[in-house]
Structure 1
Amino acid sequence: MRLSARRRSQFIGFLATISGIGMKYGIPLTLLSIVYLLFVIFGPHLRSMPKMTPQNLAYLEHSVSVARTLLIASSIAAVLGLIIRFFYEEVLGQGLALLGGLFFFFTPAILGDLTMGAFKTNPIYQSIINTFGMFGLICLLPGVDLIMRDAAMRIWNGINLQKIMERGWGDEQERVKKFRKPKMYAKCWDMAFCRDFVRNVCPAWKKKKPCWRLKSGCYCDEGTVMRALTVEGKDNPHLRGILHSLGLDKARSDGLSGAQKRARCRRCSIYAEHQRQKYRLSSPMMFPAVGLLFLVFYNQISTWIGVVLERADHFMSFLAYQPGTVYSFAHEKNILTILTLVWLGIMILSYALRGLEYLIFEMQV
């Protein structure tokens, strides 16, 4: 059932209100909750727990519990509001995935090194770490989903993209009735644009080369159309005189340079369909191409990731003021390598599809 214009407007207004509330209150409350929980970790509270009275300890546990619940609830509201407001922004998925990955995968190691492992067995500390991980998951899952959505939409929109001007010739209904089964990589005479009365005089059809190869066809060369219009009266002296006066009864040069012919192709509906077919065939190849790229350079990428993790360990040792770190990134090299490869694969695939779209539809390669 389709919504009426009034219902649709009300629904859009409702979504705008929900997203506004989520962003207005969710983001500040999320930031305040994170700041408070970090203050609990790095402040005097956890260190003074053994000396606390039961009342103070219960108050601390209650405050941390409220902050944890508030962080989860406000982060859900904030992420939901951001998704509704910026649903079609590619940077949103990338930002959420990056923030979520940071909190979900790296919070235990980073906070463990900064606190020098002093609170490993502290239940309040562990509950805060778990909450940070849950917050990371709330950001990570929608972020990855949006990135995959963007990649899928880029392929779909590229296939159906209308980047080049369409022109009507008055026979659109006739061409719809005369259905041609589409081919995987059709020539111009296999497309719905081709008309029978033009085909007999079309140079592309006669030479069995598509019009974008010859830079001349029925949608850009008026001579071809004129010959098609007068071919029925070829035995009529009057029409033969018109063809002769226009120079259409013999081969002639149109005087256009190669650049001018290419510019003419870029405005042609047939060439637009050709480019869409090219993108339809090329875009799925990006997936195995990225996989093959990682397969070939896996060892080198793994080495680079290992170097980065070792330097991260040294940096955390510097921040913790001790030569050895409690948590080592290098110990999690295998899982971090896989996660990094997945992240790089998604990012490279997204930008590869964007580059392919630019080459085919903007540069007209």
Structure 2
Amino acid sequence: MGRPNPNYKSNVLSDTIVGFVDGAAKLMFTGGLLAAVVGIAVLIWHVFGSGNADPQALAQALKYQDYFRQAALWGILAAGIGAAWLFWGEEVSGPILLIVGLALALSSWYLPLAIQGQGGELQGNAITYLSTAGYPAVLIGILMVLAAAIQATKIRLEQGAKAEQMKYGKGMKEEKDVRNQFLGKCWQLPYCRKFVRERCPIYHAKRTCWKERVGCMCEESVIKTAMENKVISKDMIAASKFIPKNTKLSPAAKAERCRQCVIYNEHQKHKYNLFLPITIMGIAASYIALRPVMADGIQSALRGVDGVYKTVTLNAVQTASDDSARATSIDGGAVPYNEIILFVLALVALAYAIKVLEFLIWKLKI
């Protein structure tokens, strides 16, 4: 009978503590993010949407405004702490948190310009509260960025020290023959080893391994040929006769083998880098070309919804107001509702277009 592991209980306890902290961090991140979004959204509405409110509504909003201040402040703090634990070590987590925090912290500078210095106590308080809510995110973001920079510097120094200690024998030097031609063939991409390439029939036949369904990363005979130093004709037609044929695997199995190949995935990466900017420019061009028609359609739909709302709420009589003086409205303002909705829809379309592209490139491996 083996001896019991004396560290078993401590390992179980450690895993339990880490699991508990992970759960608490997820709860803090999710709950804090939800509270922050609600608080910030209401405070932003206080800045831009309360200009034409009656005094009674303003007084009621002032009464409950502090609740949304606390939701924004403590929500950002909780979400920041949760994000710091969950995404520690991620390169972009710290900068993203820092950018969000700065956008809120500096709102006391640019929001008064957006409302042209007009506004009462409700708007002034909202701007101050938004600025204050950004401070926790700025602090946590700076700490995460500094920690990531220190860790990266430490790794670089350690690897640099090890690299300095590497010694090669007399007359020996490091071989540098890494190819990475954009959308190149298999033998023009990284991970194709020079020793194997010079004895590879696919290379001399100027073909690709993913079309032949055999290659140096998946077929034993290709490596065996290279190790035996067999002479392969450099003539394309003659070399093609030396390409091995695997009759033991089905075409589906060979295709799946290609999908898992590091060289083929490098080729897929090149295709993704090609089609990603095309997708972004396509969505942008569609937005520019279809913007007038779609904006008018959204505006008509908003007018219809607004008419139904006023009918249901017995508020059919419209009060005279200058839409051009408001920050936003259905029929005017600095940025009308339909333009905001159309821009958001364009962003959603872009996100789903990128998801479709990733599905085609990385899942279906087309």
TM-score bracket, shorter-length normalisation: 0.5 to 0.7
Q: Which residue of 2 aligns with 1:314?
A: 307
Alpha-carbon contact 2:25-2:81 (below 8 Å) kept: no
Alpha-carbon contact 1:290-1:348 (below 8 Å) kept: yes
Percent identity for Structure 1 against Structure 2: 21
Residue 338 of structure 1, CA deviation: 2.5
Residue 318 of structure 1, CA deviation: 1.9
1:74 is matched with which residue: 71, 76, 79?
A: 71
| 82 and 203 in structure 1: CA distance in 2 versus 1, 3 angstrom threshold | same
Counterpart Cα distance in 1 of 2:190 and 2:275: 22
Counterpart Cα distance in 2 of 1:22 and 1:199: 52
Q: Which residue of 2 aligns with 1:355?
A: 356
| 332 and 83 in structure 1: CA distance in 2 versus 1, 3 angstrom threshold | farther
1:260 maps onto 2:253 in alignment: yes
Give a deviation string over 1:80-126, Cα, whole Å, max 9, x none: 423553687xxxx9xxx9xxxxxxxxxxxxxxxxxxxxxxxxx9xx7
Counterpart Cα distance in 2 of 1:229 and 1:22: 56
**Residue correspondence of structure 1 range 58-73 to structure 2 within 5 A:** 65=62, 67-73=64-70
Number of equivalences? 253
Q: Which residue of 2 aligns with 1:111?
A: none
Counterpart Cα distance in 1 of 2:126 and 2:339: 22
Which residue identity lines up with residue 259 of structure 1 in the other structure? A
**Residue correspondence of structure 1 range 46-195 to structure 2 within 5 A:** 65=62, 67-82=64-79, 84-85=81-82, 177-180=175-178, 182-195=180-193
| 203 and 137 in structure 1: CA distance in 2 versus 1, 3 angstrom threshold | farther
Counterpart Cα distance in 2 of 1:25 and 1:341: 25
Which residue identity lines up with residue 292 of structure 1 in the other structure? A
Give the unaligned 5+ runs of structure 1. 1-8, 50-59, 98-122, 143-172, 235-248
Relative to its length, the structure with more helix (as a share) is: 1
Residue 220 of structure 1, CA deviation: 1.5
Counterpart Cα distance in 2 of 1:188 and 1:276: 13
| 206 and 181 in structure 1: CA distance in 2 versus 1, 3 angstrom threshold | closer
Give the unaligned 5+ runs of structure 2. 1-16, 88-95, 101-118, 138-167, 233-240, 324-328
SS in 2 for 1:297: helix
Alpha-carbon contact 1:23-1:77 (below 8 Å) kept: no
Residue 194 of structure 1, CA deviation: 1.8
Give a deviation string over 1:283-311, Cα, whole Å, max 9, x none: 22222111012123223312321222111
1:217 maps onto 2:215 in alignment: yes
Higher RCO, 1 or 2 (CA under 8 Å, sep at least 6)?
A: 1
Residue 322 of structure 1, CA deviation: 3.0
SS in 1 for 2:341: helix
SS in 2 for 1:331: coil
SS in 2 for 1:332: coil
Q: Which residue of 2 aligns with 1:338?
A: 339
Which residue identity lines up with residue 293 of structure 2 in the other structure? Q
SS in 1 for 2:190: coil
Normalised to the residue count of structure 1, the TM-score between the two structures is 0.54
Residue 276 of structure 1, CA deviation: 1.7
Counterpart Cα distance in 2 of 1:68 and 1:259: 63
1:292 maps onto 2:285 in alignment: yes
Residue 265 of structure 1, CA deviation: 0.2
Alpha-carbon contact 1:204-1:210 (below 8 Å) kept: yes
Give a deviation string over 1:267-294, Cα, whole Å, max 9, x none: 2111121112222222222221110121
Give a deviation string over 1:125-179, Cα, whole Å, max 9, x none: x75577779989999xx9xxxxxxxxxxxxxxxxxxxxxxxxxxxxxx9998424
Normalised to the residue count of structure 2, the TM-score between the two structures is 0.54
Which residue identity lines up with residue 71 of structure 1 in the other structure? F
